[in-house]
Amino acid sequence: MYSIVCHKSVQLSGGEEERTARLFRISQRRNHILTDRLFAKLMVMQWLGGIVIAMWFSPMAWSGSNLQPLWHVWAAIWLGGAISAGPVLLAWRRPGRVVTRHVIAVAQILTSALLIHLTGGRFETHFHIFGSLTFLAFYRDWRVLVTATFVVTVDHLVRGIFWPQSIFGVVDVSHWRWLEHVGWVLIEDVFLMISIQQNLTETLEVAKRRSHLESINAQIESQVVERTAELTEAHKQLLMTSRQAGMAEVATNVLHNVGNVLNSVNVSAETVAGKIRHFRIASLKNVARLLREHEHHLPEFLTQDARGRELPSYLVQLADNLAEPQKAILEEVKYLQNNIEHIKQIVSMQQSHARVAGVLETLDVVEIIEDAIHISSTSIMRHGVSLVREFEPVPLVVLDRHKVMPILVNLLSNAKHALAHRGDDKVLKVQVAMGGVDTVQIKIIDNGAGIAPENLTRIFQHGFTTKKDGHGFGLHSGALAAREMGGKLIAESDGIDRGAVFTLVLPFSHPTQQHDEKHDR
């Protein structure tokens, strides 16, 4: 059945195509089993209904016939029971098998033939055949319709020639009338097969999308593992290099800067894991649960209940909605990769006592600030801090991104900690403005704990800190990095509980570039 509709889907990779085929087969087998059980119950109900018709309706329908009413009752009991017994037994012992649904198809049409006979060939009873074909279409297997149509054709042909009263309700009838009835059956078959084809296409599309999403999830998990392994290896190499070279201060600064970025790495990893754990594939279970709840009256649910009629379109819409979290996960992985690259640059930048300058780039200051804010955004929001941006237009600057980023991340982290013990009015402002003809100022302003006057000259010293769990390396290394870039880091505060302002002043061009320009002149 999978081969019938596979050509309508987009070309998949080998693994995804195998998974899609497997999901498609699972869906089809589940549907076959449910439909088998549906027909098992329907057969019993039709058998009992045939007995009632034989007792109350057949004597009036066959009035004037030489057949005795008791004969109809015995036919309904024994012949109807024989027709129904096989399908019920197979549906109970061999559900989901090919032979089961074909036997059910034959038995269902024979039941229609028996009911037509019991009603004396009434035209209204012929609609039982059309209803039977509709129910058989639930299998989503066109071969079952072929089997049922063949039985209808043989039944109408044989009884139409040898016993027309049993099927048409009259003794004398045209030998070709059976073709008219078979023709209407074939017309219904055409529409049912088109419906089956569309249903199979939608089912396959859902399976394909689910397979593709599972593949993407596996790739994302693999990337997270790989990036974590790279980070672990980079950390090991950093410690080894620091011990071998005796650069304790450098190693401390590196770990401090890496720690700031690791907070974002951890948040991104948790975000990706959370999105994967709560992926909307669980909605498919809700659909399965809905079908299971209505399995005892599935035909009525799918044809009469508003939810049942909307189920195929809902499955397609669900498949589209499942693709929505993919974009958010990929964006988070992108940030994760950027943070890991940032850590690598920090490690590479500070592995030498000579502090060799990194790669210079022409950058937008606002873009760098937004990246730093993103690294700290989860922690800022968790602490209920209101972030205010006040950016003035400034020219592009030539800087080493991986020297500026640790300074900004550390300043934002310090401001967030300074606001920890304040009430609901926690405000953190980030301002960008011109600092002169050739400099730009980035200000981090908070209304938090503030800085004592005697500490304003000490906070940039190596090892000095006012935090219980602080190390006193962030502001020290930040001030050194700012100086290397030809700028400076300034602290201002009106005192304890009066807030603080940290200003990072950066030149529009790096000192190395300025030296090269003078040399060119």
DSSP 373-388: HHHHHHHHHHTTPEEE
Residue 3 has pLDDT above 50, yes or no: no
Q: Among 83-92, 476-485, 498-507, name the most confident range.
A: 498-507
Residue 345 has pLDDT above 70, yes or no: no
Look at residue 249 in the predicted model and tell me its pLDDT: 44
Amino acid 46 reads Q
Both tokens assigned to 52: 């009632």
Q: Among 108-117, 260-269, 417-426, 436-445, name the most confident range.
A: 436-445
Q: Which residue has the higher pLDDT, 497 or 235?
A: 497
List C-alpha distances in Å: 75 to 45, 57, 164, 411: 16, 14, 18, 92
Look at residue 390 in the predicted model and tell me its pLDDT: 92
Q: Which residue has the higher pLDDT, 171 or 506?
A: 506
At 261, is the pLDDT very low, low, confident or very high (cuts 50, 70, 90)? low
> Mean of the pLDDT values across residues 449-473?
76
Look at residue 446 in the predicted model and tell me its pLDDT: 92
Look at residue 248 in the predicted model and tell me its pLDDT: 46
At 4, is the pLDDT very low, low, confident or very high (cuts 50, 70, 90)? very low
At 241, is the pLDDT very low, low, confident or very high (cuts 50, 70, 90)? low
Q: Which residue has the higher pLDDT, 255 or 151?
A: 151
- pLDDT tens-digit map of 411-438: 888 888 888 887 778 899 999 998 888 8
Both tokens assigned to 191: 């529409």
Look at residue 113 in the predicted model and tell me its pLDDT: 80
C-beta separation of 360 from 398 below 8 A: yes
Report the chain's mean pLDDT, rounded to a whole number. 76
Look at residue 444 in the predicted model and tell me its pLDDT: 93
Look at residue 436 in the predicted model and tell me its pLDDT: 80
At 503, is the pLDDT very low, low, confident or very high (cuts 50, 70, 90)? very high
Q: Which of 88-97, 196-205, 338-347 has the lowest mean pLDDT?
A: 338-347
- Tracing tokens 């509980």 back to the chain, one arrives at 497
Look at residue 118 in the predicted model and tell me its pLDDT: 76
Residue 207 has pLDDT above 50, yes or no: yes
Q: Which of 17-21, 105-109, 355-359 has the lowest mean pLDDT?
A: 355-359
CA distance 38 to 138: 10
Look at residue 250 in the predicted model and tell me its pLDDT: 43
Q: What is the 3-state secondary structure (H, E, C) of 94-152?
A: CCCCHHHHHHHHHHHHHHHHHHHHHCCCCHHHHHHHHHHHHHHHHHCCHHHHHHHHHHH
- pLDDT tens-digit map of 361-414: 888 889 888 888 877 776 777 778 888 999 999 999 888 887 888 888 888 888
Look at residue 32 in the predicted model and tell me its pLDDT: 86
Look at residue 255 in the predicted model and tell me its pLDDT: 59
Look at residue 6 in the predicted model and tell me its pLDDT: 42
DSSP 365-434: HHHHHHHHHHHHHHHHHHTTPEEEEEE-----EEE-HHHHHHHHHHHHHHHHHHTTTS-S--EEEEEEEE
Residue 47 has pLDDT above 80, yes or no: yes
At 504, is the pLDDT very low, low, confident or very high (cuts 50, 70, 90)? very high
Residue 283 has pLDDT above 90, yes or no: no
- pLDDT tens-digit map of 304-331: 777 767 767 776 676 666 666 666 777 7
Look at residue 246 in the predicted model and tell me its pLDDT: 40
Phi-psi region of 121 (alpha: psi -120 to 50; beta: other; left: phi over 0): left
Q: What whole-number percentage of the chain has pLDDT above 70?
A: 68
At 61, is the pLDDT very low, low, confident or very high (cuts 50, 70, 90)? low
Residue 357 has pLDDT above 50, yes or no: no
Residue 332 has pLDDT above 50, yes or no: yes
Residue 519 has pLDDT above 70, yes or no: no
CA distance 521 to 514: 11
At 22, is the pLDDT very low, low, confident or very high (cuts 50, 70, 90)? confident
C-beta separation of 28 from 1 below 8 A: yes
CA distance 65 to 67: 5
